Amino acid sequence: MLQRLIGTVAWLFSIASPQTTPRREFEVASVKEVDHPVVPHAVSLIINHERLNIDAAALRQIIGLAFAIQRVRVQGGPPWIDEDLYDIVAKAGSADVTRDEIREMLQSVLADRFKLFVHRETKDLPEYTLIPWKDGPKLKPAGEQDATGITPEGSPNGGRRFAFRKTSFTTLVNFLANTLNSPVIDKTGVPAGFYNFTLEWAEAVPNQRPEDAGPLDSAPSLFKALQEQLGLKLEVKKVPIEVLIIDHIEKAAAN
């Protein structure tokens, strides 16, 4: 226990103390709270050479992006980190910066602007595994000229319907994790690339905490929709899962 505590303190100190360990930082970064209504949407790490752009994202999402961990594995923190939305635009000092380096720089922004302190733990939680079903995935590759985005659409049965356009498979996996409020692991073997598809299910999944997630039949409509519409299947079991615990966070001051 003592050794684990010492390790946690050392990790916290290493990411939050620029005096001891040099941190990668953006050349310039802008953080602005969104002050107008926004339709909920999936958020990804959009990188154009040395530039980073995050559009209208909740802070829990942004933390997950910075630490390369699904949002549902980011635990703790006040309610406003799921309610307030932020735009982040930043530029690195070199066009040769890697995706991992961008993540490190985003961690520095969170530490500087939001006074973020976190540590990692392992907990026994429900984990969903996404695998092929029957004849395999039914995904149509996107065209080069297709628009990108996830659009909520009306469903004639009163359920939920989303159109995914030029969407990476990783985005779908994260979408399912956020919908189920539990981690989802991709074991489908679907090739990297962008796809067009629509997912519609009759009933909303109950809003569960990961530790309270029920068996698969707690939301049969979603699981059946994945099988019949996309050729995918979800399986669940409790396993040790690494989570990121928020120890401290503050609202960012205006730019």
Claim to verify: residue 56 and residue 154 sit in the same structural domain:
no
Place of tokens 């050729």: 231
Position 127 scores a pLDDT of 86
Spatial separation of the C-alpha atoms in residues 226 and 231, rounded to whole Å: 6
Claim to verify: residue 203 and residue 167 sit in the same structural domain:
yes
Position 26 scores a pLDDT of 87
Identity of the residue numbered 95: A
**Positions of E strands within the chain:** 28-33, 46-48, 51-58, 74-75, 85-91, 117-132, 140-141, 149-153, 160-168, 184-186, 194-201, 232-248
How many structural domains does the chain have? 2
Spatial separation of the C-alpha atoms in residues 249 and 168, rounded to whole Å: 31
Position 216 scores a pLDDT of 47
The tens place of each residue's pLDDT in the chain, 255 residues long, gives 444 444 444 444 444 443 445 678 888 999 999 886 665 555 555 666 678 888 888 999 999 999 999 888 899 999 999 989 999 989 888 878 888 888 999 999 999 999 999 999 999 888 899 999 998 999 999 988 888 888 888 766 667 888 999 999 998 998 898 888 888 999 999 998 899 999 988 765 554 444 444 444 444 478 889 999 999 999 988 889 899 999 999 998 766
Position 52 scores a pLDDT of 85
Cα–Cα distances (Å) from 174 to 69, 82, 178, 208, 250, in that order, read: 10, 16, 6, 16, 26
Residue 164 lies in a domain: yes
Claim to verify: residue 83 and residue 131 sit in the same structural domain:
no
Claim to verify: residue 227 and residue 137 sit in the same structural domain:
yes
Claim to verify: residue 177 and residue 77 sit in the same structural domain:
no
